[in-house]
Amino acid sequence: MSFIEISPESDFPIQNLPYGVFSTKENLTPRIGTRLGDFVVDLSFLDEQKLFDQQYGFFADSSLNRFMSAGREVWTRIRQRLTDLLSEGGDTVWEEAMRLRALISVENVRMHLPVVIGDYTDFYASREHATNVGVMFRGRENALMPNWLHLPVGYHGRASSVTLSGTDVVRPRGQVKPKDTPPEFVASRQLDFELEMGFFLGRGNDLGSPISIGNAHEYIFGMVLLNDWSARDIQAWEYQPLGPFLAKNFATSISPWVVTMDALEPFRVPLPQQEPAPLSYLNSDSAMGVDINLEVTLQSAAMNAPQTISRSNMKYLYWSMEQMLAHHTVTGCNMRVGDLCGTGTISGPTEDGYGSMLELTWRGEHPLQLPDGETRTFLQDGDIVTMKGYCQGDGYRIGFGEVTGKILPAR
């Protein structure tokens, strides 16, 4: 238990202790903090007061990159020290006045993008999602492409357009191809969300040296909620033969708090049965899923409150983060600290757990009913999409907060 009272429904109990970058009106300098209930703990202040085993310096940085690059031993040591400092009846080395200075109400902070992201890769790891999309476009007999059960399919995205939760999303323009007319240049009419999780690399590998499946977990620092916004009509015309391009490069939203793998370790679960068995470089007992409850809400400009439109779980993913990372680097590709990987859309086995509008409305054939009589096949201007996620423990939860975005008209 922490020395402050925290609701069992809070995303941020002492068992979580995620990391983010924040500033305040009183101190505009972005710096690193952790979240405890409704407070942000200023880690740069703790470092200044010499409350860690040494003065690290990197907590005053405007990104987590230098902290992440310090390595797993340091991550674990700092997490344990924070647990001691913030526990009820724990370390009493700091006085009440210091606690008051270190704890800042979340209402008084501004969050910033937590990581300087060098590269961003998005995968396609949900069998349910891949099957649904395949059925729509190729029929049930050819739903999964021949390679899908043998490797984690992915594509390289744009790190430059990864933005923090709360950043508005401008409807993109691009080429689309109506069924019986020539291509035209228009604002996307099929704007969509994708319910995903993202994971950050806290360790890199040398060019030419793959990351093995057996120790891939050692490279993953932590996770965020991720919404990889998609323009389906632009994608349908452009993606053959090389895959997504403009349909995905205009916006990707992430949540501000990076939840560490140490906090998520109690919620690791076996993967679904993989048949056929993956090749040896992808096959390991250390490749595990994570039991994270996920929810998507939609609120139109006319609605007074959001409506839940999907509930899913990361445990449904066919491919694990470790398998994605091992496959990504098997050619010798060098990952770097701060690189971001997305899981791809996480769809559950039932219709109420689909992770995109494309699936929820089945390509527009079954419009989504909103409570005020409105319907949706895809997102309209003014719509606000919010994603939440948490792992449920015994009397506590490890949560991610939320990632939200509002659709603005095309420019």
Return the active site residues. Answer: 129
Distance, C-alpha 299 to centroid of its chain: 21
CA dihedral of residues 272, 275, 281, 284 (deg, nearest 10): 40
Structure tokens at 248: 């995905």
Distance, C-alpha 185 to centroid of its chain: 31
Query: Closest Cα to residue 342, out of 233, 213, 194?
Result: 194
**Cβ-based neighbours of 57, under 8 Å, separated by 6 or more:** 47
**Whole-number Å distance between alpha carbons of 103 and 40:** 6
Structure tokens at 120: 């961003």
Residue 372: burial class (beta carbons within 10 Å; 0-12, 13-18, 19+): exposed
Peptide bond into 256 cis (omega under 30): no
Distance, C-alpha 165 to centroid of its chain: 11
Distance, C-alpha 275 to centroid of its chain: 27
Tell me whether strands 293-299 and 307-313 are parallel, antiparallel or unpaired. antiparallel
Give the 3-state DSSP-derived string for 309-372, with helices as H, strands as E and coil as C: EEEEEHHHCCCCHHHHHHHHHCCCCCCCCCCEEECCCCCCCCHHHCCCHHHHCCCCCCCEECCC
Contact 10, 1 (CB under 8 A): no
Structure tokens at 258: 């990076």
CA dihedral of residues 62, 344, 384, 132 (deg, nearest 10): 180
Tell me whether strands 384-392 and 293-299 are parallel, antiparallel or unpaired. antiparallel
